Chain A
């Protein structure tokens, strides 16, 4: 199975900050990676697929990069509605696996 490791597990930030979250795969997954945002009590929201492609309707302050084993999610200027937990997920092979999550808090 491919293990997905996110870091940090939590980050404290302020409105306007640039935030970067890292996701590492235990083996190469090409660009088969997605990012999700989840707020308490809500279902996850799809943000980015194929490592760097923004899903429609997602603000352009979100961006993704990387390929192979190392990936990043960047929020260029944190907004109040961005405080949430973020997960990466590999779609390269079954079983599909998620990272442990990164909580972005004030």
Chain B
């Protein structure tokens, strides 16, 4: 059974940093691309970042480029998102999602971790 378990969310002041982690199990983690998707309170889904299976390819939405860094450890089956220079508009539930083998779609999702950016 595929399981994705996010951690690391919390309350942070504007300009601060936070590191999210996603522990994956139930599939061959090193063979699958992964992504982070977020959802602001009461809003729709927004793709944030993606990473190829090997980690060689990384992709970001424009609003987080230069501030967020996605990475993975294929030995520890862990996906990470380092978030710096956080802004109020980054407040959201952050989901870890597994990318399908049929394209950049998301077939499994974690339960999400809440990031709140406020003074």
Which of B8-16, B22-30, B41-49, B83-91 participates in binding chain A? B41-49
- Beyond the given A89-B105, A96-B35, could you list 6 further A-B residue pairs with CB under 8 A, ordered by the A residue number? A44-B106, A45-B109, A50-B102, A53-B102, A91-B104, A99-B44
Q: A43–B104 contact, CB under 8 A?
A: no
Q: Is the C-beta of A66 less than 8 angstroms from some C-beta in chain B?
A: no
- Are A32 and B103 in contact, with the CB atoms below 8 A? yes
Query: A87 to B46, alpha carbons, bound, how many Å?
Result: 11
Given A44-B45, A44-B109: A49 and B103 interface contact (C-beta under 8 Å): yes
Q: Chain B interface secondary structure, helix, strand, loop or mixed?
A: strand
The yes or no answer to B100 lying at the interface (CB within 8 A) is yes
Q: Is A97 an interface residue (CB 8 A)?
A: yes
A45 to B95, alpha carbons, bound, how many Å?
12
Closest Cβ neighbor of B61 among chain A residues: A95
A-B contact pairs, 11 of them (CB 8 A): A34-B105, A36-B45, A44-B37, A44-B106, A44-B109, A87-B44, A89-B45, A89-B105, A91-B104, A98-B44, A100-B44
- B55-81 vs A, CB cutoff 8 Å, 1 = contact: the mask equals 000011110000000000000000000
A64 at the interface (CB under 8 A from B): no
Task: Give A98 to B35 CA distance when docked, in angstroms.
Answer: 14
| CB proximity of B30 to chain A, nearest CB, Å | 21
